[in-house]
Amino acid sequence: MQLLEQFLGYMQSGGFVMWPLAILVLVLWYALGYRFHTLKRGSNANVRNLVRKFSQGIRSEPQGLIDGAIVEALKVIKTHGANKNSRKLLDDLFSEWLVVIKRYKTTIKTIVIVAPLIGLLGTVSGMIETFDSLASAELFSQTGGIAGGISQALFTTQLGLVVAVPGLIMGRMLDKKAANMELELEQIKDILCSEGVTNEI
């Protein structure tokens, strides 16, 4: 109960922009958690070795996104055979995987950009209150006067940065991982559509 009161006091001290920032925090970390959980590659082996192991039955259970993509791609090749349409079939198959890889990427980038701007809005609002108190010579008022305005400005700036900085760092790391996976999906298509590997399958 005391923790809840402290939280509500903290939110109230920052003014009206604190609740939108709190909502953005929840959405951001949900999106980051989803991407982190989804972008699990599976085995650390390179793509060519993984294709060989799955095609020869050495491995059968996928442990991550790339493993799963290889298993599904091999099913397509075995079902439809290796022909000129193989690449198109794999393009259609991997389009679903690409959607999964890119999901919430734009959401994270948008929140990282918007959060500091909302914090800045709270900062401006706090400074307006500060200068209003100075203009009317009210060192103390119902909203806290000068001290309340400065406090509000600092709280909103702080929360805006707390939202943006971790989101920026983790978002960039996940974007790099996603880009590598997109390249690996292309490698899988190249390997499976080449004559040598197709004949082995």
Q: Write out pLDDT tens, residues 162-199.
A: 889 999 999 999 999 999 999 999 998 888 887 445 44
Q: Are residues 111 and 91 in contact, defined by beta-carbon separation less than 8 angstroms?
A: no
If one counts every other C-beta atom within 10 angstroms of the C-beta of residue 137, the result is: 7
Residue 137 has what pLDDT? 57
- pTM for the whole structure: 0.77
The residue behind tokens 């290796």 is 82
38 closest CA partner among 113, 104, 101, 110: 101
CB atoms near residue 108 (< 10 Å): 23
Contact 62, 68 (CB under 8 A): yes
Q: How far is CA 177 from CA 36, 73, 168, in A?
A: 10, 21, 14
**Residue 200, pLDDT score:** 47
* pLDDT at site 198: 47
Between the CA atoms of 125, 126, 127 and 131, what dihedral angle is there, to the nearest 10 degrees? 100
Low-confidence ranges of the chain (pLDDT < 70): 7, 10-11, 13-14, 81-84, 133-149, 151-152, 195-201
4 contacts: CB under 8 Å, gap ≥ 6: none
CA distances for 1 relative to 5, 67, 78, angstroms: 6, 47, 61
Distances (CA, A) of 37 to 21, 61, 147, 158: 24, 18, 44, 28
Beta carbons of 152 and 126 less than 8 angstroms apart: yes
> Who contacts 6 (Cβ-Cβ below 8 Å, separation ≥6)?
none
